[in-house]
A = this chain, B = another copy of it.
Amino acid sequence: MTLPADAHGVYVIAPTPFHPDGRVDDASIDRMTDFFVAAGVTGVTVLGQLGEAPKMTHEESVAIVRRVTARVRVPVVVGVSAPGFAAMRALTQDAMAAGAAAVMIAPPSTLRTDDTIAGYYRQASEAIGADVPFVIQDYPLTFSVQMAPAVIRRIVQENPACAMLKHEDWPGLDKISQLRAWESDGSMRHLPILTGNNALFLDFEMERGADGANTGYCFPDMLVDVVRLSRDGRRDDAHDLFDAHLPLIRYEQQPGPGLAVRKYVLMRRGIIASDTLRRPGAALAPVARAEVDYLLERLARTDPRARVGDPARPAV
């Protein structure tokens, strides 16, 4: 599978399921992957920040890519961000050989100035191979690197292999509008923009011109619906569904415990067997679990997918 030039829909950010003892849980990967496909995702991104990539050895990482690409017929994007190009190149080569469609690269947190950021992406593209499609991850909240729209345009223009923007700047609505305006006036080629940030602004991002979502909220099936409703012009319906999920979206978007929330709900939904995070990574405190349970109960009043049964007896 290759990354289409008009990529759109939901490229779900896949977490990495672990057994309670920390080993990778292959059966859960398979079940989760099947669930994603059934939910209608158009792509899968593995080994991102919330895929706990830095906690995995190179061999484990490659095995996950292989497992997922073998199971799906949609493009698989692989996070390869690394402090140095040697590790980035090594993972890229093995990931592409294993059937990945593209890689995703976040900037190192020390980058400042437009020139430095643009220079980094030129060097990275050269390092991994100028023919390997790459996705820019623009997430200043986590990576401390702020990319002005003009920098993104520069990266697009300087790198034919730049194939998508994972947009998660905050605030970021005007950035989408600006990039689309440049496409309209011909000063930038078309770039698929899929948005992250746990979908906190997906409702309006779609209306500003985003092509879809590239995030891992615990109800990717809802993301698929919102993207579809929005693309179909059913604005109120899109917002109604989105708003029903917003209390949980917001709760899951918290930088620290967010991933634990996501895994907990995926476990409650029967999609993965355990909500274990690899160390360092705190389990959800009982009070937080109870808060999530309450949010699920409330959500279930309008979205039956949130009926996850008794927390004492998880679905799996």
Contacts and interface: CB of A to CB of B under 8 A. Distances in A.
Interface of A: 52-58, 60, 82-87, 90, 109-110, 112-116, 119-120, 123, 126-127, 140, 146-148, 150-151, 170-171, 173-174, 177, 200-201, 203-204, 207-208, 239, 242-243, 246-247, 250-251, 254-258, 278-280, 285, 287-288, 291, 298
A309 to B, nearest CB: 21
Contacts of A146: 112-113, 116
A114 B256 contact: no
A279 B127 contact: yes
A247 to B, nearest CB: 5
Contact of A151 (B113, B174, B278): B113
Contacts of A52: 84
A288 to B, nearest CB: 7
Contact of A113 (B114, B123, B278): B114
Contact of A298 (B86, B151, B239, B280): B239
B114 A86 contact: no
A115 B200 CA distance: 26
A32 B44 CA distance: 48
A246 to B, nearest CB: 5
A200 B113 CA distance: 24
Nearest to A235: B294
B113 A86 contact: no
Given A171-B256, A207-B291, A246-B246, 20 more contacts: A52-B84, A82-B83, A109-B109, A112-B112, A113-B147, A114-B150, A114-B151, A115-B150, A120-B280, A123-B279, A170-B254, A171-B254, A171-B257, A173-B287, A173-B291, A177-B285, A200-B250, A204-B291, A208-B287, A246-B250
A215 B90 CA distance: 30
Contacts of A112: 112, 140, 146
A100 to B, nearest CB: 19
A291 to B, nearest CB: 6
A56 to B, nearest CB: 5
Nearest to A83: B54
Nearest to A90: B57
Given A84-B53, A84-B54, A170 B255 contact: yes
Given A113-B151, A114-B148, A57 B83 contact: no
A54 B243 contact: no
A239 B85 CA distance: 40
Contacts of A256: 171
A109 B257 CA distance: 19
Nearest to A257: B171
A278 to B, nearest CB: 8
Given A151-B113, A243-B246, A54 B86 contact: yes
B87 A57 contact: yes
